[in-house]
Amino acid sequence: MRFEHAKGADSRREWEHRLQRMADIGRASKYQAFKHSLTLLGLIYLQRHDQLSLPDTIDEPSSAALRLAEVIERHKGLQTKPLSQHLLSGLSSIEPAILTDWLRIASENWPVEGFPEWFEAKLDELGFAYHHDTPSSLTRLVASLFSDRSPTTIFDPACGTGGFLAAAAEQIGHAALFGQEMNSEAWAWAEMRFLIRGERHIKLAIGNTLADQAFSRLAPKDGFDLVLTNPPFGMALDPNTASRLSRRTSNLVGGLVGRLSSETAHVQEILASLSNSGAAAIIVPNGFLSRGGTDQKLREALVRNDSVQAILGLPERVFAPGTTIETAILVLNRRKPDDQKGRILLLDARKLGRREGNRAVLDDEAIERITSRYRRWGDDVGFSRVLPFEELDPANCSFSPARYMEAATPAATMNPDERRSHIAELDARYIALCQEYEALRLQLARSR
Q: Is the pLDDT of residue 14 over 80?
A: yes
Among the ranges given (128-132, 207-211, 269-273), the one the predictor scored with the smallest mean pLDDT: 128-132
Name the more confident of 212 and 380.
380
Would you put residue 254 in left (φ > 0), alpha (ψ -120 to 50) or beta? left
Q: Using alpha carbons, list the distances in angstroms from residue 313 to 18, 248, 437.
A: 40, 30, 22
Phi-psi region of 359 (alpha: psi -120 to 50; beta: other; left: phi over 0): beta
User: For residue 180, is pLDDT > 90?
Assistant: yes
Hey, which of 9-23, 167-181, 408-422 has the most confident mean pLDDT? 167-181
- The single-letter code of the amino acid at 13 is R
Is the omega angle on the peptide bond into residue 321 within 30 degrees of 0, that is, cis?
yes
Report helix, strand or coil for 230: coil
pLDDT band at 24 (very low <50, low <70, confident <90, very high): confident
Per-chain mean pLDDT for the chain = 85
Distances (CA, A) of 19 to 15, 95, 106, 173: 6, 18, 8, 32
Q: What is the pLDDT of residues 374-399, one digit of tens each?
A: 999 999 999 999 999 999 999 999 99
8 Å CB contact between 310 and 346: yes
- pLDDT, tens digit (0-9, with 9 covering 90-100), for 155-176: 999 999 999 999 999 999 789 9
Residue 30 has pLDDT above 70, yes or no: no
Give the rounded distance of the alpha carbon of 289 from its chain centre. 20
From 138, 191, 195, select the one nearest 168 (Cα to Cα). 138
Closest CA to 148 of 338, 337, 375: 375
Can you tell me the distance from the alpha carbon of 386 to that of 380, in angstroms, rounded to the nearest whole number?
9
Instruction: Judge whether 313 and 349 are in contact, CB under 8 Å.
Output: yes
At residue 84 the predicted structure's pLDDT band, cuts being 50, 70 and 90, is confident
Task: Please give the model's pTM, rounded to 2 decimal places.
Answer: 0.85
Indicate the pLDDT class of residue 207, thresholds 50, 70 and 90: confident
How confident is the model over 225-246, as a mean pLDDT?
81
- What is the full DSSP assignment across 347-395? EE-TT-SEEETTEEE--HHHHHHHHHHHHHT--BTTTEEEEEGGGS-TT
d(CA 124, CA 130): 10
